[in-house]
Amino acid sequence: MRGYSVGSFDQSECGVPTSFSISGCPAFDRLLGSKLAVASFEIRIPVFGVPEYGLFNVPFLPLTLAPFVDAGIAWQGRQSLTLNSSTSDPNSRSPVVSAGLSARFNVLGYAILEAYYAKPFQRPEKGWVWGFQLVPGW
């Protein structure tokens, strides 16, 4: 989930760990579970590329911009799922959502490097966050 990476959480977001906390950070614990449901919607806009695929003919640096929305939920066997993200029940899980813009670069035809700027909506004290990741496909 873009906007919810492990390294982006700090102690001020964690609050007081509960006895149900797995990682010691309840805000991060909502991303952990044995079952997952994830959805992503993005519109890819090819900016640089070959004439057949790209707004500008720059074949040596393929670049795609993509506005996106990511949503996901993680839970364990007996936890109940809810759409209410303000619940304080440790046995209840609610989805996390982020939206933003990503840029994907094809690095030498070998790897796809993605840089993103995302707003994680279930982290109110956190503003927009930057991130980088290697993506498995173009």
User: Tens digit of pLDDT for each residue in 87-100?
Assistant: 555 566 888 899 99
Confirm whether 129 is domain-assigned.
Answer: yes
Q: Is residue 7 part of a domain?
A: no
How much is the pLDDT for 6?
80
N-term to C-term CA, the chain: 18
Pairing of strands 63-75, 96-107: antiparallel
Q: Is there a domain that residue 110 lies in?
A: yes
- With respect to residue 109, please indicate whether it lies within any of the assigned structural domains: yes
| Per-residue model confidence (pLDDT) at position 92 | 66
* H/E segment holding residue 117: strand 111-120
Which domain, by its residues, includes 49? Answer: 24-76+94-135
Adjacent-strand bridge partners of 134: 113
pLDDT in tens, 23-35: 677 778 788 888 9
Say how many domains are in the chain: 1
Q: Tell me if 17 is assigned to some domain.
A: no
pLDDT of the residue at 66: 94
Least reliable range by pLDDT among 19-23, 32-36, 114-118, 127-131: 19-23
DSSP string covering 45-96, please?
A: EEEEEBTTB-SEE-TTS-EEEEEEEEEEEEE-TTPEE-S-TT---TTEE--E
